Amino acid sequence: MKGLILAGGHGTRLRPLTYTGNKHVIPIANKPMVLYAVESLLNVGVREIVVILGPLKEGIKEAIDGNYPASFTYVEQEPLGLAHAVMKAEKYLDEPFVMHLGDNLLQNGISQFVNKFHETKADAVIGVTPVRDPRQYGVVVLENGRVKRLVEKPKDPPSNLALVGVYVFTPVVHDYTKRLKPSWRGEYEITDVLQLMVEDGRRVEVVQVEGWWKDTGKPEDLLEANQLVLDTIHGGFRHDHARIEGRVQVGEGTVLKENVIIRGPAIIGKNCVIGPNVFIGPYTSIWDDCELSDVEIENSIVMKGVRIRGVSRISYSIIGNDVVVESKPGVPRITRLVIGDRSRITLSS
């Protein structure tokens, strides 16, 4: 079985973070999110993986190449839908394959999908889970446990079951992508492919996803995914003079100075300088090479090379690579930020 990871798209809902980089390398608990998809495929035995790249492809190859026991092929695509990605990669997908959206995280991985595929000898396996607002997703209508109908981002959803971003296909799927026409959105929809398969009597099996699933399309989704992953980390880190509470991980080469409190779950990367006078609260991830002093921060994602000085409290924020945030006296008590790479922010009253 082969793998197909979609790591393209414009990431418009994550701007300004995606003006300068690919959304799939935004870190969740200090790991580029695309790597969760890579590791899920490896965990089910996939060793040949095609990665779809879009216009902003920086960082994807650097995150993947040389770090995993698998072969990777990169295919560029102008973002025209999920089914279009399958079309672009067709020549590499000559046997059953798992398609995994690079911005989707599943608590329990994808073994459910692969097991269902082998057990039922299906032509396709999809995953569904109930959601509050199905209008943002592909929606599935079931009848007696079988797929009856699929609709992409409907204004009036016929059910509350959203398509999860993992699919298993046999090569027969290529016959159906060739029959597609662009949808009203101007894209080649994977829901249309599946609908054609259902109408032709192909065996499309359904997995009711167990555990949490997160589609990280918006900043609040990134923060929630960060929380969910941090809830799974192990603790055990101790320090002579810093106060460590709960499950905390700290990377090699990181220095904790005086009057530092870290309350987990939290993770700090390598070669950081933390302190003096720093409080790091729950659900915070701080990546490599950062410097924080006179700062309170919680429920936030801080990327590489960030400098934060003198900010009373940052909360529910995402701070891009190589950003500088500093304050002057009289700033508000709580600050919420979404800052793209290489920015400089000075807070003042």
DSSP class of residue 114?
H
Query: DSSP letters along 228-264, please?
Result: HHHTT-------SSSEEESSEEE-TT-EE-SSEEEES
Mean pLDDT of the chain: 89
Residues in the chain: 349
Q: Which two tokens stand for residue 349?
A: 């009253």
From 84-88, 227-231, 311-315, the region with the lowest mean pLDDT: 311-315
Residue range 230-265, pLDDT digits in tens: 999 988 787 878 999 999 999 999 999 999 999 989
Across residues 296-310, what is the average pLDDT? Answer: 94
Q: State how far the Cα of 87 lies from the Cα of 79, in Å rounded to an integer.
A: 12
pLDDT (tens digit, 9 = 90+) per residue, 100-127? 999 999 999 999 999 999 999 999 999 9
Q: Is the peptide bond before 276 cis (omega within 30 degrees of 0)?
A: yes
Residue 268 CA to residue 286 CA, distance in Å, equals 5
- Continuous H helices in 156-293: 173-177, 190-199, 219-230
Q: Burial, 223: exposed, middle or buried (Cβ in 10 Å; 0-12, 13-18, 19+)? A: buried
pLDDT at 241: 82
The residue whose two tokens read 């398969």 is 197
Q: How far apart are CA 173 and CA 197, in angstroms?
A: 8
Mean pLDDT of 167-174: 97
Q: Is 167 helix (H, G, I), strand (E, B) or coil?
A: strand
Q: Write out the H or E segment, with its range, that includes residue 151.
A: strand 146-152
